Structure formats: C-alpha cells, structure tokens
Amino acid sequence: MNLLTSLGWRADRAAHLAALGDPALQAARVVRVAPGLYDLIGEGDLPAAHLCGALLDHPDPLARPGVGDWVAVRDGVIQHVFPRDTTFVRKGVGRSSAPQLVCANVDVVLAVTTCGRDFNPRRLERYVAAIYGGGATPVIVLNKTDLVDDIAGRVEAARDAAPGVAVVAMSALRDADLTPLAPYLAPGTTLALLGSSGVGKSTLVNRLLGEAAMATGDVRGGDEKGRHTTTQRVLHRAPGDVVVIDTPGMRELGLWRADEGLADTFPDVEAAAASCRFRDCRHDGEPGCGVAAAIEAGELDADRAASHRQLERELAREAIRDDARLARAREAEWKAVTRGMRTRRKLNRKLGLKDF
C-alpha cells in the first residue's frame, strides 16, 4: 500500500483532483494547524503551507481546512479543500457562536472516558450526539478499568447513555494488548480520540502508535482530573496503515448543527415523543405528552429525557445565533463588494473609461 492510500486516498478523490484541471496540484492531508501554517503529509517532502486568498478570506470558518482534511497544494499554497466524508465540529468556546472544525474525514471516533469518578453518562450523550451529527461512527472507550470493581455496571451505564453504540472497557496503561479495539483498526481507517483531560487519551494514542509519541500526565488524586498533555490536534500514522488523530482534552463541548445526531443518540426518547398528542410538544408538562407517559410507566429514564430536552434547546439557541452570524458575514461580504464597485467606477471616471 502506497503512502497516499494508507492515509485514506481513494479513486473518487483522485478523480476529483483530476477534475480540478491543474496538473501542478498535489494531494496531501493536513497533519497539524498552526496560526497561518498547515503541516501536510503526502508524496515527497512537503513544506508547511499557507492558504490561498480565496480560502483565507472566506467568511465561513468551516471552508478552511482542518486536521484530517484532504487538500490540493501547489508551491506551498493550499488551493483547494476536498469534499469531506465526515466532520467533527464544535461550537466555539465561550460566547462565540462560530463553529470550530476539530477534525475531518474520520471513520471512527473513540469517545474516551474513565471508569473512575469522572465517569459521566450525560457527557457521553453529548459526545455521541456530536459524533453522529458529523457522520462518523462513535465508539465509547471506558478506560482505566483498574479504578473500579464494578466494571459491568459502568458498561451498562454507558450502553444506556448511548443505545446501539459499541462500548469497549479496557486499561490502556495496564492491558497487554489492544484486542478490544481490533475491529476499528482496519487498514485505511482514520480514528479520532476525544474526551476530557485525564481520561488517558495520550496513553491510548501511544499504545496505538507503538511508541511514546505523546506526553502523558498524572491526574489529581482528589478528583481524578488531569492536565492537558495534548495541546493541539495532530494526525499520526499508526502501524497497520491506520491514521490516528489525537485532540486536546475538552472542558466543554458545545453542540453545533447536530439535530440528526441527537435523534440517533436518543432513539428511546424520540420513540416516546412520537406518541405525543401535539406535534410541537416540548415534553415539559404539556397534556398528552408521550415522553411523560413513558417516564411514568418506567419505560424511560427521567434524567435521560431531561438531558435530551436540554440538548435540544441548546441546539435551537445555537441555530438562531449561527443564522445571525452568517447573516452578518453575508452583509459584510456584500458591503466589501459594493465598496469595490464604487472604487472601480471612480477610477473609470477618472481615466475616462466606460463602466461595464
């Protein structure tokens, strides 16, 4: 298997490159993003690249490449971003409503959590909804199984939080092999790992790569919180022609346009909601609410229904904010176009030329 194929290059991407009509363009994949620079991997020794003007000035932040993206580069300048198979996008941290691309073209996302006191089913629901929303396959990894006696209880709680999602219980530090993850390590597969600090992502990445590629850090004994040992998103080539993308620990994960992912994460709540008397039922005390009836009958967990309602409201709020942000961006773009037209007319009049 050649280098590009081991990175996930396919016939459809080759056809797309050919359709661009520029034989000088070279395909590469984004390894790391730094301010103004993009580290790439592809055939030959590729220098860090810059963005062309059209990508640099694009009003949509998701139009610019991120880690895992396939790009077409010429003379150290990224000219084109290939269509993405999948994305993992989060809402900007803080009050920002701008979406932030975490990684792209990922087949499987390992949502890593600890079996210890930091285990949180509500956080898992949020992760899985975001993963489903971007089109990738989620897998929950319950790491640090040595911290608890009731591993089966943790597995059951994780499965309840994400029905139908595979759950792998392991200790990246102590287990002799990675057999539980073997189904997700097929050649040409791209894996991404995400989770909060201290859950053992860097240790797991080192095991996947077969070397100490990532620094690892201790966790605090009092609350099992960890330090940020991974500070940026990085793409690695692992043995067996597997691509691994590591991400920094996330203190918060704001959902962005993940409505379909929410439905996939909460099939039980969605099924109960289908029997609501009113189509616009908010499941918050309305008469004839199917969700309330399922909770009362013991068929649906009340905390899980509340989590679904919270995430649904969050997505609705962010959709409104994002629509407003896009409207402002379009207005600014049109103002720039208008200014350019006025400048051209003034120059034409000064030179005695006719406007077109």
Residue among 271, 290, 314, 312 at smallest CA distance from 163:
271
- Angle at alpha carbon of residue 184, lines to 11 and 162, rounded to 5°: 115
- Set out the domains of the chain in order of their start, with CATH numbers: 3-83 (2.40.50.140), 89-246 (3.40.50.300), 266-356 (1.10.40.50)
Tokens of 324: 């407003």
Joined tokens for residue 114: 């600890």
pLDDT of residue 167: 97
Structure token digits, residue 340: 């350019």
Instruction: Please identify which residue in the block is written with the tokens 């009113």.
Output: 278
User: b or e along 36-55 (b: 16 or more beta carbons within 10 Å of the residue's beta carbon)?
Assistant: eebbbbbeeebeebbbeeeb
Band (pLDDT 50/70/90 cuts) for residue 304 is: very high
- pLDDT winner (highest mean) among 109-123, 222-236, 247-261, 311-325: 109-123
Predicted pLDDT at 164: 95
- Quick one: which of 33, 52, 41 has its CA closest to 6? 41
pLDDT tens, residue by residue, 141-200: 999 998 888 999 999 999 999 999 999 999 998 887 888 899 999 999 999 999 988 898
CB neighbour list of residue 206: distance below 8 Å, 6 or more residues apart: 212, 213, 214, 216
**φ and ψ at residue 116, rounded to 5 degrees:** -80, -155
- Looking at the predicted structure, is the pLDDT value of residue 223 above 50? no
Strand residues in 92-136 grouped as ranges (E)? 99-104, 108-114
